[in-house]
A and B are shown apart, each in its own frame.
Chain A
Amino acid sequence: MVAAILRPVLRAIDLVCVAGAVVAAIACAIMAVMLVTEVIATSFFGWSQPWAVEFSGYSLLAVFFAGSGWALRQGAHIRVTLVTQSLPPRGAWALDVLASFGALIVTCYASYALIRYALRSAELGSVSTYLSQTPLALPQGLLAASFVLLALALFARITRLLTGEDPELPVAGAIE
């Protein structure tokens, strides 16, 4: 019964987290293209993209955080496993649940702070000082959304731990 409700929820969380990773990957590509264009434009065409510096900053926040929830599922975030390794499986499991709860609390607090920050920017109509005058609520909203994704991923992780499922996907690519 519980599983029937949870299964689609977990799948939906996985999906939005993957979508976040795609956003991060695209932001990374845009950043590279934009800066290469800038080199060519300023060196050979006497022109500069007035948005290059500003938008590479916004891309950076997407690269750092939009894929964070996905990275959690991939086991990419770093923790010290010294104690967990020496515990019996039951104890390690309990500690993992506890740590995941702790992380969820921190992420929820950070998400709350970032959402407030972005909403307040929207309310005040704060814009960037660059030529574009981008409303700051937009990139700040993206940052807040990224943290919400991370919170969802932590919720999914805890759910998986409690239902006895492996919370992390096996990772290809690392040299073991």
Chain B
Amino acid sequence: QTVWDISIPWGPAEFHTVNAENFASAVTEATGGEVEMIIHPGGSLGVRANESLRAVEDGAVPMAEYALFQNVGDLPILGIESIPFLISDYSELRRMHDLVRPVWEEALMDRNQMALYIVPWPSQNFFTKEPLETAADMEGVRMRVYDANTSTMITNLGMTAQQMNNPDIIPALATGRLDAVMTSGSTAAAQKYWEFLNHTYNTNHLWASNAMTVNLDVWGEISEENQQIILDLAAEMEPGFWAISEAEHATRMEELMANGMTVQAPSEELATMMRDATKDMADDFIAANPEAGDIIAQFRAGAAN
């Protein structure tokens, strides 16, 4: 019998974690208990979100689920879906994944791991204390950012881009040290943003997906039969996980409204400013990752059809 520990940075109730639990029990059942996966949520194995790719590669943990954009320090190409305003909805995201997934898979193979399934986070939003409609509203708003991309975008918008570590965020929102955050509806609802913030803008500015990956050395230790069972299960369950993610956004927006937050599309002015602030980012990304050029060209050609 093989036992694999899976490191997951998110809490036990997060839908990605629930998906992983379901996947793990399906695997145990289908392999007749020969392969067992134990979920360790909340980062309890000490593997951080942005060092998970490396941890799986080194075999520090046999499996981990991690957000691709948080591991671009190790594999820059994983950030392609997070180029602002490149992808507008789930069907486009699906198309982008169809194009880029072979490239990702090869890159991950080079890093001694394989993605069993990849599932997106629900679309992104701005959550603010004060209304954010005009350029004047954005002046000096302290918005939490989490990587180089979002940092540049927020600075270009005239806001104050604020790096801040996770445990500081909720108290900072409560005291007014922080005026705004950007994330998905599921994180916003889980952390009860309505206690501190008033407005939700469905900016949909970038996409982020999680990959469930397994170290190739431990993968090679199980029978080919079991390998096939697991691969089939992953392929079979992934569309369902995507559907859950897609439904999550609407559910969470209703939850936010029920708790008194406004939920709206960004104003014309905000939308235009955001696109202007980020218009060079695709080219910058291609300059840094030449292999992305073809993929983005193909993706855009597909969108034109």
Contacts and interface: CB of A to CB of B under 8 A. Distances in A.
B267 to A, nearest CB: 22
Contacts of A117: 58
Interface string A126-169: 11111101001000000000000000000000000000000000
A172 B139 CA distance: 53
A11 interface: no
B278 interface: no
B160 A42 contact: yes
Interface stretch (A49-57, A67-75, A89-97): A49-57
A50 B160 contact: no
B58 A126 contact: no
Contacts of A54: 163
Q: Chain A interface mostly helix, strand, loop or mixed?
A: loop
Interface string B72-98: 111000000000000000000000000
A121 B74 CA distance: 9
B5 interface: no
Interface in B109-134: none
Contacts of B71: 129
A130 B160 contact: no
Nearest to B165: A53
B54 interface: yes
Contact of A50 (B50, B139, B161): B161
B161 A126 contact: no
Interface in A46-88: 46-48, 50, 52-54
Contacts of A126: 54, 73-74
Contacts of B148: 129-131, 133
Contact of B140 (A46, A127, A133): A46
A42 B73 contact: no
B199 interface: no
A44 B104 CA distance: 44
B162 A130 contact: no
A124 interface: yes
A120 B70 contact: no
B142 interface: yes
A82 B225 CA distance: 57
A117 B140 CA distance: 40
Contacts of B161: 48, 50
A39 to B, nearest CB: 9
Contacts of B139: 46
Top-9 shortest CB links A-B: A53-B163, A46-B140, A129-B73, A131-B148, A127-B73, A129-B147, A126-B74, A131-B151, A48-B162
Interface of A: 42, 46-48, 50, 52-54, 117, 120-121, 124, 126-131, 133, 136
Given A42-B177, A129-B70, A133-B148, 5 more contacts: A42-B142, A42-B162, A48-B142, A48-B162, A126-B73
